[in-house]
Each structure stands twice: as C-alpha cells, then as structure tokens.
Amino acid sequence: MKVIVLLDQMQAGLGGKEKANTPLGGKKLAMGAADTYDKVLKKNGSEVMGTFYCGTDYYQGNKAEVQRKVTKMCEKMQADVVIAGPTYDYPEFATMACELADQLQKETAIPVVVSIAIEKNQTLIEDYQKLLTIVKMPKKGGTGLSDSIDRTIELCQLKVEQADITEFAQQYCY
C-alpha cells in the first residue's frame, strides 16, 4: 500500500504558526508526523510514498490552486490511499484536511482517510462526517494518540481492499 500524507507546516516539521504562509510543497519521504504513520505501515510492507505540506494561511489564500495541484499530484503519483492529518485540535489544519479530502474524493478514485480531534472542530466535523470517513483522534496532549494512528492505518487498509467499513466507521469514526 503506497500512502500519501497531507500535513500542515507544523506537522510536517516546517515550523509553528509563524510559518503558516509556507507554500504547497512535498517530498517523496515521510516527513514529521508522516514518519509516525510510516513506522506502522512498514510493519505490514506498506509505506509513505510522499508527504505533501501546505501552510494553513497559504492554503486559505490559494484554495483552488492547492486543491487542484494536490488532486493532480496524488493521481500522478498513483497513491493507493491518502491520509489527511493527524490534525489534532488545530482548527485551521482540520479545515484544510477536510476540504482537500473532499476535493480528492470528488475528483479521483483514490480513497481518503482524515484524522481529526473533536475539540475546536465540532461544527467542521458535523459538516463533513457524512461526506468523509474521519477517524477520531485526541486533541494536542490528549490520551489515545497511538491507538488513533493504528486505526487510521487500519482504515486505509480496509479502503484499499474495498472491504466493508461500516462496522469500523461506527466504532472509530465520527
């Protein structure tokens, strides 16, 4: 399973809020939080094929362009599945993750998994929970991070295998 991970500047290891103007970019590597997914993926012979990052302010100012480029690049790189997150309770990143995931789902056949904490994102989740499969995760500093990482990967696997995700979604998604 070849996975692309979408991150903001903070989770990609490119600085904090002051770097929110980081333009869309990517590396064919597991950067920052993607490395945590990569460690779990490698146990099952899968891997992160690329990390896409975008500063949250940059995204807000260039939504259409970022959405188009991310969609095209995911298709070009022939990813099996895309993970948007982990966003924790950062609302700006959570918004970006949901919007990009929604666009990807509409425009491509690539399955998408989103991972968001409910804190500060209640309305966003209500808006997107019927459209996307959003795995529950803890807020920054909350308990249960490791489990949520495992579940995100599990859902990726289920989606790639086109298995029934109803039961999984009921238990672990919003």
Partner 1 sequence: MQKKLEQILMPFAIKLGNNVVLRSLRDGFLIITPLIIVTSIFLLIGNFPIPGWAEFWSHILGPDWTEWFSAVSNSVFSFTGLLACFGISYAYGKNRGLQAIHSSAVAIISFLILTPTVVTVGKQSIGAVQTMYLGPNGIFLGIFIALVSVEIYRFAINRNWRIKMPEGVPPAVSESFDALLPSGLVVLVFFLIRIGFSLSSFETAYNFIYTMLQAPLKGAGNSLPSVLLYNFIAMLLWCFGINGPTITNSVWSPIFFVLTQDNLTAFQNHLPLPHIYTQQFIDIFTTYGGGGSTLSLLIVMLTVCKSKRVKELGKLAIVPGIFGINEPIIFGLPVVLNPIIAIPFIIVPVLNTLISGLVFSIGLVPYTNGVMLPWTTPPIISGWLSTGSWTGSVLQLFELILGVLIYYPFIKMMDRQYLAEETEAAQLADVDINFDEV
Q: List residues binding partner 1 (CB under 8 A).
A: 10-16, 18-19, 24-33, 35-36, 50, 52, 68-69, 72-73, 76-77, 88, 138, 140-146, 149
Residue 36 or 165 with smaller CB distance to partner 1: 36
Shortest gap between Cβ of 15 and partner 1 (angstroms)?
4
Residue 18 or 164 with smaller CB distance to partner 1: 18
Q: Kindly give, in sequence order, each residue whose CB lies less than 8 Å from that of residue 23, ignoring residues fewer than 6 positions away.
A: 54, 55, 58, 62
Please report which helix (H) or strand (E) contains residue 2, including its range.
Answer: strand 2-7
Give me 7's structure tokens: 């991150």
Residue 32 or 99 with smaller CB distance to partner 1: 32
Question: Is-contact 40 150, C-beta < 8 A?
Answer: yes
Of 116, 112, 169, 171, the C-alpha closest to 138 is 116
